[in-house]
Structure 1
Amino acid sequence: MQTLEGSGPPVLEATDAAQFAGLFDAVVHAIGEVLVGKPDAVRLALICLISEGHLLLEDVPGTGKTTLAKALAATISGTTSRIQFTPDLLPSDVTGVTIWDQSVGAFEFHPGPVFASIVLADEINRASPKTQSALLEVMEESAVTVDGVTRPVGSPFMVIGTQNPIEQAGTYRLPEAQLDRFLIRTSVGHPDAEAALAILATVGTRAGRPVMTPMLTPAAVANLVDQAARVYVDISIMRYITAIVEATRTANGVTLGVSQRGAIALLRSARTLAASRSRHFVVPDDVKSLAEPVLAHRISIDPEAEYGGLTAADVVHDVLRRVPPPRGQA
Structure 2
Amino acid sequence: MQTDELTYQERIREHQLKIKQVFREMGKVVVGQQYMVNRLLIGLFTNGHILLEGVPGLAKTLTINTLAKVLHLDFQRIQFTPDLLPSDLVGTMIYNQSSSAFEVKKGPIFANLVLADEVNRSPAKVQSALLEAMQEKQVTIGEKTYRLDLPFLVLATQNPVEHEGTYPLPEAQVDRFMMKVYVDYLSKADELEVMRRMSNLSYTSTVNTILTKQDIFDIRNEINQVQISETLERYIIELVFATRKPADYDLTDFAQYLQFGVSPRASIALNLAAKAVAFFDERDYVLPEDIKEIASDVLSHRVILNYEAEADNVKTKDFVEAVLRKVPIS
TM-score by length of 2: 0.91
> How many residues are paired up?
316
Q: Percent identity?
A: 39
1:157 and 2:152 aligned: yes
Partner of 1:74: 69
Cα shift readout 1:132-178 (whole Å, capped 9, x = no counterpart): 22110110111112223221111111111111011111111111111
Structure 1 residues 139, 206: CA separation in 2 closer, same or farther (over 3 Å shift)? farther
1:208 and 2:203 aligned: yes
Aligned equivalents of 1:140 and 1:207: distance in 2?
A: 43
> Is the deviation greater in 113-122 or in 138-147?
138-147
1:290 and 2:285 aligned: no
Cα shift readout 1:270-298 (whole Å, capped 9, x = no counterpart): 11111000000111111110000111011
Structure 1 residues 165, 303: CA separation in 2 closer, same or farther (over 3 Å shift)? same
> Where in structure 1 are there 5+ consecutive unaligned residues?
1-9
1:299 and 2:303 aligned: yes
Aligned equivalents of 2:243 and 2:51: distance in 1?
A: 21
Q: What are the residue-to-residue correspondences of 1:221-232 with 2, within 5 Å?
A: 221-232=216-227
Aligned equivalents of 1:206 and 1:236: distance in 2?
A: 55
> Where in structure 2 are there 5+ consecutive unaligned residues?
247-254
Partner of 1:184: 179
Aligned equivalents of 1:264 and 1:207: distance in 2?
A: 47
Give the aligned CA root-mean-square deviation in angstroms. 1.8
- Give the deviation of 1:57 after TM superposition: 0.9
Partner of 1:325: 329
Contact 1:64 1:188 in 2 (8 A): no
Aligned equivalents of 1:229 and 1:150: distance in 2?
A: 29
Partner of 2:260: 256
Cα shift readout 1:120-140 (whole Å, capped 9, x = no counterpart): 111111111221221101101
Aligned equivalents of 1:244 and 1:149: distance in 2?
A: 42
Q: What are the residue-to-residue correspondences of 1:1-330 with 2, within 5 Å?
A: 17-204=12-199, 208-251=203-246, 252=255, 253-326=257-330
Contact 2:94 2:103 in 1 (8 A): yes
Aligned equivalents of 1:67 and 1:317: distance in 2?
A: 30
- Give the deviation of 1:214 after TM superposition: 2.4
Structure 1 residues 13, 247: CA separation in 2 closer, same or farther (over 3 Å shift)? farther
TM-score by length of 1: 0.91
- Give the deviation of 1:213 after TM superposition: 3.1
Q: Match of 1:33, SS?
A: helix
> Is the deviation greater in 167-176 or in 72-81?
72-81
Q: Match of 2:177, SS?
A: coil
Aligned equivalents of 2:73 and 2:39: distance in 1?
A: 20
- Give the deviation of 1:19 after TM superposition: 3.3
Contact 1:145 1:151 in 2 (8 A): yes
Cα shift readout 1:82-136 (whole Å, capped 9, x = no counterpart): 1011111001110111223333333211111000010011111111122122110
